[in-house]
Amino acid sequence: MYHPTSRVLTVLELLQSRPSITGPELAARLEMDVLTVRRYIMHLQDVGIPVEATIGRHGGYRLRPGFKLPPLLFTEEEATAIMLGLLGTSWLEIGQSSIAVEGALAKVSRVLPVHVRQRLDTMSEHLFFFSPQQETRPDVSLLLKLSEAIGQQQRIAIEYRSHRDETTHRNVEPYGIVGWNGRWYLVGYCCLRQDYRTFRLDRIQQVEALTEPFERPEDFDCRAYVMKMYAGEVARWHIEVEFQATLYAVQQKIPASHGTLTATPTGVLFQSRYEDINGMARYLMALNMPFVVRQPTELREALLRLAEQIMQHATAQ
């Protein structure tokens, strides 16, 4: 059974798809009488849709010649969700072109009512997203290739660099892509290891789609698998670092998802859990703020190693 609003929108769709359509034809398509069709036509005219009625043997209803209705109509809630998604692409650490994002934002904005557009423009002007791990951004073309292979259930051949900087060639049955703790992972079955595996997207050097199909286990949960694999690792190192800066200054550089920030008499205490001690050392140095390591000792050692590497590069002839 049709909802009245759905019927009005269906009338509009039919008018857009045909140069002209008669009242009886509309009535038959929508299973209603001609008088109801006329009432719905008047509803469209009342909201500014230029529906014209013609009389005679070939009479009927049509949209005014040259009138182009925007192909998308969003509610304010839908438009807000789309705008937030587009504005948050940098925070999601996807290597999406800023030109593409700006173009999409402009197109969405054009099809919105004026008052909705003004509210969302105000919102976008005061929203700022920072991505702290630029080096982990996956390329959009890689995401598209992997997603296509996942959707078609086709194996892929990848060249993968491990955390030990060792490169292997593997055939993989891709199941899904999961974002976890600031990184992106491909989850699937590795034919080389003959077991389920995760692959960091920033370590995939090359990918090639194969013509070999596969069947994914119906009960396999990609998100649950990643959580099981990495939840323990995240808790491996308990990090406590005190920054010699104001709480506001530290908050501008460290997202809340990275750990807790607590004001102290001498600065700000940053507490977190992290799986890669060397990665944490690089991250802290990139923040460009003075700090003191409270724990663990391994973090101090990682910072000393990083300092030695910097000195070697700086003094190399």
Q: What is the pLDDT of residues 18-27, one digit of tens each?
A: 778 888 888 8
Q: Where are the alpha helices (DSSP H) in 76-221?
A: 76-87, 98-110, 114-125, 140-152
The pLDDT of residue 172 is 96
Between CA 113 and CA 120 the distance in angstroms is: 11
User: What residue ranges do the domains of the chain occupy?
Assistant: 4-63, 76-125, 136-228, 237-315
CB distance 172 to 196 below 8 Å: no
If you average pLDDT over every residue of the chain, what do you get?
80
Mean pLDDT of 193-211: 92
Between CA 242 and CA 268 the distance in angstroms is: 5
pLDDT digit string (tens) for 101-114?
A: 666 666 677 666 67
Between CA 305 and CA 311 the distance in angstroms is: 10
HSE (CB half, 13 Å, CA atoms) of 9? 8
> Could you tell me the two tokens for 56?
């005679």
First to last CA, the chain: 80
pLDDT digit string (tens) for 113-160?
A: 677 677 767 666 655 555 545 445 667 778 778 888 998 999 999 999
The closest of 173, 246, 263 to 209, measured between CA atoms, is 173
Q: Please work out, in degrees rounded to the nearest 5, the angle formed at the alpha carbon of residue 186 by the alpha carbons of 181 and 190.
A: 130
Least confident of 84-93, 242-251, 263-272: 84-93
- Quickly name the fold that domain 136-228 has: SH3 type barrels. (2.30.30)
Which stretch, 8-12, 34-38, 203-207, 256-260, has highest mean pLDDT? 203-207
The pLDDT of residue 314 is 81
- Between 40 and 230, whose confidence is greater? 40
Judged against a pLDDT cut of 80, whether residue 52 lies above it is answered with yes
Q: Name the percent of the chain in helix, strand, coil, to the closest 5.
A: 45, 25, 30
Architecture of domain 237-315 in this structure = 2-Layer Sandwich (3.30)
The closest of 244, 129, 275, 248 to 283, measured between CA atoms, is 275
Confidence of residue 275 (pLDDT cuts 50, 70, 90): confident
Confidence of residue 1 (pLDDT cuts 50, 70, 90): very low
- Would you say domain 4-63 falls under CATH 1.20.1740.10? no
Judged against a pLDDT cut of 70, whether residue 71 lies above it is answered with no
Packed helices 4-17 and 23-30: angle between N→C axes, nearest 10 degrees: 130
The pLDDT of residue 171 is 96
Which position has the token pair 């692959």? 199
Percent of the chain with pLDDT over 70: 74
Mean pLDDT of 155-182: 88
